[in-house]
Structure 1
Amino acid sequence: MSPSLPEFTLGVEEEYQIIDPTTRELRSQGEQVLAEAQKTLGKDIQPEVYLSQIEIATPVCHTLADVRSALLYLRGQVIAAAAKTNSQIAAAGTHPFSEWAKQSVTPKERYQGLVRDYQQIMRELIIFGCHVHVGISDREIAIQVMNRARTWLAPMLALTANSPFWLGEDTGYASYRTLLWSRWATAGPPSSFASRADYDALVDALIAARAVRDGTKLYWDIRPSERFETLEFRVTDVCATVDEAVMMAGITRALVQTCYEQVVQEKPFADVRPELLRAAQWRAARFGLDGDLIDVVNQRSLSAPDLIETLLTFIKPALETQGDWDEVSTIVYQLLENGNGATRQRAVYQQTGRLEDVVDYLVAETARGTVSD
């Protein structure tokens, strides 16, 4: 990498489902699993809004090998902790059939406040995502990188869509999690900003209007982190496999690096309207890899493989600079051949007609290759 470029460190957060191994339903064992897992993981594991959820966060990673190693270890430790409470762990954007009304809120004021503030949409928000942080210390450049990276959110979502089922039904969407999440006022693709000051002014206005309590309540698909010197990408469902999570970490970092270089070189960019970005996101959530997506820059419909190939071409120099091209491209092409998480979940259901078997499949995929000791 050029000495003039930042390192672009990585961090990955994953939200998991806690599963009853007998019924395969969500299980409100978050406090018990957390207590067990914290014995080995400490602050790298945290509660979530509902007791049937739990979240891990990798340490700061410098390579994709670091990401892979951290995720395999963290998943393994959470799975082992869950087993001690007679529970299992699954990674998918929604549970195939558990009812939202049966889920218990974690007894912390922060989470109970969210339910009070947002009412029904919060009560139904039993969803599980993956967030990738990429380190950028220059907060001004981070905004300009976000302006450019936002045009590539749809193919990133299509690759990782992993939530086709909801309340026992096939929703017809590859990522129904995206639709549940999109009901929030501060969700979805961000607008573009002239500067960091422009961004900060909007945040201040939203806080002053009591639309949000603070900057952490901006839930856009990309945002500057309030806690770290990173850009945080929040668009994807949690991935069933570590391979897919590693792939998305590699794509995200390469996208940030590519956009960063364009900012430094003062290259122009397509300032795509937010309405078009939202339409592209809806199409990716609806069809995943199994239909046409929207090329927002050229304003045309394009097959998912063709648009993803365009993304790979755009970020290939950065992937090669990082030494990640072979690993990332191999996983991408495997997904294009075998299907994303949504396609694979549906294939299991079509074979057996049992959503319990889909949960078993997700439990097995989540555990693949993990380290429990």
Structure 2
Amino acid sequence: MTAQTLGVEEEFHLVDPATGSLAASSTVADAAVLGQPGPHVQPEISTTQLETATGVCSTLGEVRAALRETRAEAVSAAQRDGLTVLAASTHPSSSVGDLVLTDAPRYRVMVQRWARLAQTQDICGTHVHVGVDDLDTAVHVMDRARPWLPLLLAMTGSSPFHEGADTGYESWRTVWWSRWPVSGPPEALGDADGYRAVVAQLVASGMVPDGSQLYWDLRPSTHVPTVEFRMGDVCTDLDDVVLHAALCRSLVAVLAADEGPAADVRPEVLRAARWKAARAGLTGDLVDPVTASLVPAETAVRSLVRFVSDDLAERGDLDEVTALAEQLLGRGTSAARQRRTMHRTGDAGAVVRDLLEVGGTLPA
């Protein structure tokens, strides 16, 4: 069995727990730059953000425990300045005018390269790393996973609001992120040499210094032997993060063993499927990864679980993942919950308070 290990990175907004407002903190950001909050907390480009990373996990139980630990570390780090962290990809009422960049060489270089794109990056995401044997395996999986990425995205939507407005999308983060020329679904690469050739051409063009700054929805890691799923919004509910990680890992295992040719999916079709997933999430129809036709969201989700069911069963995860998927279909995504709260209360602060409670990040 391949794809034995996985790890999860989550990005969070810093907020004032009393008011729910977005809060910049150089105190928290500087401590994260120096590694003071703990081994799993890292800075992000804005002083209104923090990132966490679990260690290497082998079971879903380990993933769940690690996520509880890293979220607790992030809350503790934020409390250095009386703040806490918000598990959602956009803040319901913030504006880009609130952003102050973290003072670190990496982020100064990003601003120099990307200018206003980097200066207005007020979105957060979830990244799942799945262990693979080598770069050829990573590219083999990437080429075959491309049609499944929009569906995985649709199951994570948590960014319906931006700058105080309802965007009409479940994942506005996806639309916002699409402005970057090195984001989105990658084209089929063929093998490790094909990947290296693309990276070399992008480096020669001056677009990126190396593969670590390719922000594709799916990419090989440049520092650990994994393939990294990057399309997901931040899942407010811990159950949804565990579900997302489990499906990513089993998809890697199934596709790594697939000796047939990768599906020839036109980039226009893949972009359309990605947009549809960002727009409707689980509230409408989605593009079926196999037939490229529109199907109800619940049909697509259950098809994905069936597609990887043998691998899930071999790991002893099938019952848990099936239950988590049905739970998600029954209650909807974080984006759907945020809209319900906003429509009921008319108060962005109430949305934030609910997100803090569901995400387990209310300070003690």
Normalized against structure 2, the TM-score is what? 0.95
Contact 2:2–2:256 (CA under 8 A) maintained in structure 1 = no
Give the aligned residue type for 1:147.
D
Give 3-state SS (helix, strand or coil) of 1:285's partner.
Answer: helix
Is 1:323 equivalent to 2:316 in the alignment?
Answer: yes
Instruction: Quote the sequence identity (%).
Output: 41
Q: For the residues of structure 1 that align with 2:292 and 2:359, how far apart are their CA atoms?
A: 37
In the other structure, the counterpart of 1:41 is: 38
In the other structure, the counterpart of 1:278 is: 271
Give 3-state SS (helix, strand or coil) of 2:232's partner.
Answer: strand
Is 1:60 equivalent to 2:60 in the alignment?
Answer: no
Give the aligned residue type for 2:341.
V
Contact 2:159–2:170 (CA under 8 A) maintained in structure 1 = yes
Give the aligned residue type for 2:18.
T
Is 1:76 equivalent to 2:69 in the alignment?
Answer: no
Contact 1:30–1:47 (CA under 8 A) maintained in structure 2 = no
* Alignment equivalent of 2:224, drawn from 224, 228, 231: 228
Instruction: Give CA-to-partner distance per residue, 1:154-181, whole Å, 9 cap, x none.
Output: 1111110110000111000000000000
* Alignment equivalent of 1:360, drawn from 353, 356, 359: 353
Give the aligned residue type for 2:38.
L
Give 3-state SS (helix, strand or coil) of 2:115's partner.
Answer: helix
Give 3-state SS (helix, strand or coil) of 1:41's partner.
Answer: coil
- Residue 307 of structure 1: how far off its partner (Å): 1.0
Instruction: Quote the RMSD (CA, aligned, Å).
Output: 1.8
In the other structure, the counterpart of 2:326 is: 333
68-77 or 266-275, which moves further after superposition?
A: 266-275
In the other structure, the counterpart of 1:193 is: 189
Contact 1:179–1:285 (CA under 8 A) maintained in structure 2 = yes
Q: Where does the alignment leave 5 or more consecutive residues of structure 1 unmatched?
A: none
Is 1:247 equivalent to 2:243 in the alignment?
Answer: yes
Q: For the residues of structure 2 that align with 1:144 and 1:303, how far apart are their CA atoms?
A: 29
Instruction: Give CA-to-partner distance per residue, 1:309-344, whole Å, 9 cap, x none.
Output: 111111111111111111111111111111101000
Give the aligned residue type for 1:231.
V
Q: For the residues of structure 1 that align with 2:141 and 2:291, how far apart are their CA atoms?
A: 19
Give the aligned residue type for 1:331.
L
Normalized against structure 1, the TM-score is what? 0.93
Give the aligned residue type for 2:13.
Q
In the other structure, the counterpart of 2:155 is: 159
* Alignment equivalent of 2:120, drawn from 116, 119, 124: 124
- Residue 296 of structure 1: how far off its partner (Å): 4.1
- Residue 82 of structure 1: how far off its partner (Å): 2.1
Query: Within 5 A, what are the aligned runs for 1:71-110?
Result: 71-110=67-106
- Residue 363 of structure 1: how far off its partner (Å): 1.1
* Alignment equivalent of 2:146, drawn from 145, 150, 153: 150
Q: Where does the alignment leave 5 or more consecutive residues of structure 2 unmatched?
A: none
In the other structure, the counterpart of 2:304 is: 311
- Residue 371 of structure 1: how far off its partner (Å): 11
Instruction: Give CA-to-partner distance per residue, 1:70-121, whole Å, 9 cap, x none.
Output: 1101111221332342112111011111111221000112112212221222
Q: For the residues of structure 2 that align with 1:30 and 1:240, how far apart are their CA atoms?
A: 25
Q: For the residues of structure 2 that align with 1:197 and 1:46, how far apart are their CA atoms?
A: 32
Contact 1:250–1:328 (CA under 8 A) maintained in structure 2 = yes
Query: Within 5 A, what are the aligned runs for 1:282-293?
Result: 282-293=275-286
Instruction: Give CA-to-partner distance per residue, 1:260-291, whole Å, 9 cap, x none.
Output: 111xxx22331211211111000000000001
Q: For the residues of structure 1 that align with 2:317 and 2:30, how far apart are their CA atoms?
A: 33
Contact 2:159–2:233 (CA under 8 A) maintained in structure 1 = yes
Contact 1:73–1:371 (CA under 8 A) maintained in structure 2 = no
